[in-house]
Amino acid sequence: MEKTSNQPRLLLVDDHQDTLTLQAILLRREGFDVVTSGDAETALAQAAEGKVDLVVSDLRLPDRDGVELMQELHKRYGLYGVALTGAADAGRAADRVDAGFVEVLIKPVAPEQLVKVIRHALSEVDNASSQ
């Protein structure tokens, strides 16, 4: 999974296969290199295999809480992410920021909003890493 292009590489994590597939198609059309995972353990393995620029993760995963996943990805690899969650899980914002999420979006998310937030998050991450 080694990154070979200049496209930003996103690790997209969601256990709902239809959502994962549609978001991956949308983000690839917008010029992103996208790898997908339906669970936290696979996401951890994919992050270990190659360069990831940003994580976009659902917070409810079958094998681990998305905040816990992001904490581990942030700790191991210095990654940052965008959290996707339902309105019922919108609390705990401080936990999400401490975990490495730079943005939290409440589902359903309009495609153009998702792309805009990802681009903004990537610029924030780039700015932080260049300082």
Q: Where are the domains of the chain?
A: 9-129
The pLDDT tens digits along the chain (131 residues) read 444 468 999 999 999 999 999 999 999 999 999 999 999 999 999 999 989 999 999 988 999 988 999 999 999 999 999 999 876 665 654 466 668 899 889 888 999 999 999 999 999 888 766 66
**pLDDT for res 43:** 98
| pTM score | 0.90
| Residue 83 exposed, middle or buried by CB count within 10 Å (0-12, 13-18, 19+) | buried
- For residue 91, the tally of other CB atoms under 10 A from its CB is 9
Predicted pLDDT at 85: 85
How far apart are the C-alpha atoms of 39 and 76, rounded to whole Å? Answer: 17
SS3 50: coil
Cβ distance 46 to 29 under 8 Å?
no
Q: Do the beta carbons of residue 95 and residue 65 sit within 8 Å? A: no
What residues form DSSP beta bridges with 24?
A: none
pLDDT at 127: 74
pLDDT for 130: 67
Phi then psi for residue 9, to 5 deg, are -100, 125
| Nearby residues of 89 by Cβ (< 8 Å), 6 or more positions away | 59, 60
Question: Alpha helices, DSSP H only, in 1-131?
Answer: 17-29, 40-49, 66-77, 93-99, 111-129
Architecture of domain 9-129: 3-Layer(aba) Sandwich (3.40)
pLDDT of residue 131: 61
